[in-house]
Amino acid sequence: MKIKSAEFVMSNSDVTKCPKSMLPEYAFIGRSNVGKSSLINMLTSRKSLAKTSGRPGKTQLINHFLINKNWHLVDLPGYGYARVSKSSKKVFQKFITQYFGLREQLVTAFVLVDIRHTPQPIDLEFMQWLGENGIPFSIIFTKADKLRPQAIDNHVEAYKNVLLETWEDMPNYFITSSSNDIGKDDVLNYIDSLNDNMNLS
């Protein structure tokens, strides 16, 4: 898939005010500082479509972007950020769960994970929650340029070992790096194939 157009549509914290169109939706979510904004900019070939920040927890709203006039990319707030109050965290968590519960347009979620780290409980718990609620998702391992190929394989294997303790199969996953476009075509072609499948049905 080639992205010809990427437009910001809206930001809000009220799921009922999200776009009313029934265009397919793909949601990107992950812990703060996982590289979500950089990944979105890389996928869309736009330098500042999603705002990047050195301060974790910058995305605190549901952000909709219209891609190629026929699907929405959704940038969701990060979870597990340190510098917001407990009450703010509760508000964010509430509208994240509402988003996943109410958006019939959602095709799949992409859970971003920093490949440099060992499996983090907060990521595993979130994936578990998605699984228990029947929400399809793929894992996107970010920042692959920071590791050697063998280390990447080892970290993915460590994730598989942990996940397969509770999952029947390893979820679909992608290896990416925003700094050198690793995984860009893989993710976009996957979205393209899902869109094509919906057109066939």
Domain that holds residue 29: 6-106+175-200
Q: Is residue 88 part of a domain?
A: yes
Does residue 138 contact residue 35 with C-beta atoms inside 8 Å? no
Is residue 24, in this structure, part of any structural domain at all?
Answer: yes
- Whether 113 is covered by a domain: the verdict is no
Q: Whose CA is closest to 98, among 30, 15, 11, 12?
A: 15
Q: Indicate the number of domains in the chain.
A: 1
Average pLDDT, the chain: 89
187 within a domain of the structure (yes/no): yes
Q: Is the dihedral of CA 82, 92, 76, 163 positive or negative?
A: positive
- The answer to pTM > 0.75 is yes
pLDDT of residue 200: 47
Is 41 among the domain residues?
yes
pLDDT, tens digit, 9 for 90 and up, residues 37-83: 999 999 999 988 887 555 444 457 899 999 999 999 999 987 765 45
Structural domain contains residue 182: yes
Q: Is there a domain that residue 158 lies in?
A: no
What CATH code is carried by the domain that includes residue 70?
3.40.50.300
Contact 135, 106 (CB under 8 A): yes
CA separation (Å) from 62 to 4, 44, 117, 128? 23, 18, 26, 22
Compare 146 and 86 and report the one with higher pLDDT.
Answer: 146
> Would you say residue 33 lies in a domain?
yes
